[in-house]
Amino acid sequence: MSLSEQYRIRTEPHYQPQGNEVALFEMAYGARLPVMVKGPTGCGKSRFVEYMAWKLQRPLITVACNEDMTASDLVGRYLLEAGGTRWLDGPLTTAARIGAICYLDEIVEARQDTTVVIHPLTDHRRVLPLDKKGELVAAHPDFALVISYNPGYQSLMKDLKPSTKQRFTAFDFDYPEEALEARIVAEETGLALDACERLVRIAHAARRLKGHGLAEGISTRLLVHAAQLIRQGASARDACRMALVRPITDDADIRDTLDHAIDAQFA
């Protein structure tokens, strides 16, 4: 199996559009413009990128960025073997060679001196210099670059440089409106729509506490987790406490507030 086929998404990911983001992404890809997706944790950014890779029939290479990631982790490095050294392409280089969509998830978690390596791929040059190898990789015509991050976690130490931001087109993602979010959870899990609507109302109660004791509200991802627990036979109250409340806070007062919201919905 070729590298391209290894990274291809064969099953359609479930994704419910909130607006015209699908058509706009297709236009950006048609012009080979790099795309930045911004939004809170668990709102569907990664699912959207997976869906677009499937819809465009392009392989997808995803990199979960972290503070220890180096430029070599992205572009590649020499490996020492018994017979000498061997070059191993990193995920960004592989994507550029085979014409994949390279998705750098939570890009702000990476060091700023690492992210600058993407710059030559995001303008008219569409090249990737491999300084250690002395090679200039011309990106495949189908290559595209997508990055994402959560603006709610931004700080002076964790933000993209303006010189990086201005190389991208951008989407602002948020949690879906209430009725749509309930339908998404129902379709993802098979739980009855009425129960999903109650889960969403609990999530909205938590999201109103963001900035008032909560760093982040209950995400759509966590709602899916709660619905899956209920489908497995857990009581709605136990599922909500386990999947919606305990993961997001250790504050006793906020836990009590959210537990009361759960009791109000699933009395």
Instruction: Give a three-class secondary structure readout of the chain.
Output: CCHHHHCCCCCCCCCCCCCCHHHHHHHHHHCCCCEEEECCCCCCHHHHHHHHHHHHCCCEEEEECCCCCCHHHHHEEEEEECCEEEEEECHHHHHHHHCCEEEEECHHHCCHHHHHHHHHHCCCCCEEEECCCCEEEECCCCCEEEEEECHHHCCCCCCCCHHHHCCCEEEECCCCCHHHHHHHHHHHHCCCHHHHHHHHHHHHHHHCCECCCECCCCCHHHHHHHHHHHHCCCCHHHHHHHHHHCCCCCCHHHHHHHHHHHHHHCC
Per the DSSP assignment, residues forming a β-bridge with 63 are 104
User: Rounded distance, CA 73 to CA 66, Å?
Assistant: 11
pLDDT at 97: 97
pLDDT value of position 212: 85
Across the chain, what does the average pLDDT equal?
93
| Sign of the torsion angle spanned by Cα atoms 191, 19, 101, 218 | negative
On whether the CB atoms of residues 181 and 223 are closer than 8 A, the answer is yes
Give the pair of three-digit tokens for residue 9: 């998404």
Q: Is pLDDT larger for residue 153 or for residue 196? A: 196
Whether residue 92 is predicted with pLDDT greater than 60 in this model: the reply is yes
User: Which of these, 139, 167, 149, lies nearest to 66 by C-alpha position?
Assistant: 149
Confidence (pTM): 0.91
Predicted confidence band of residue 172 (pLDDT cuts 50, 70, 90)? very high
Name the pLDDT band for 194 (thresholds 50, 70, 90).
very high
User: What is the pLDDT, as a whole number, of residue 154?
Assistant: 54
What is the spatial distance between Cα 153 and Cα 211, in angstroms, rounded to a whole number?
12
pLDDT band at 35; cut points 50, 70, 90: very high
Phi, psi of 251 (to 5 degrees): -75, 125
Determine the average pLDDT of the residues in 226-243.
97
Q: Distance between alpha carbon 191 and the CA centroid of its chain, in Å? A: 24
Q: What is the pLDDT of residues 70-82, one digit of tens each?
A: 999 999 999 988 8
* CA nearest to 22, candidates 57, 49, 58: 49
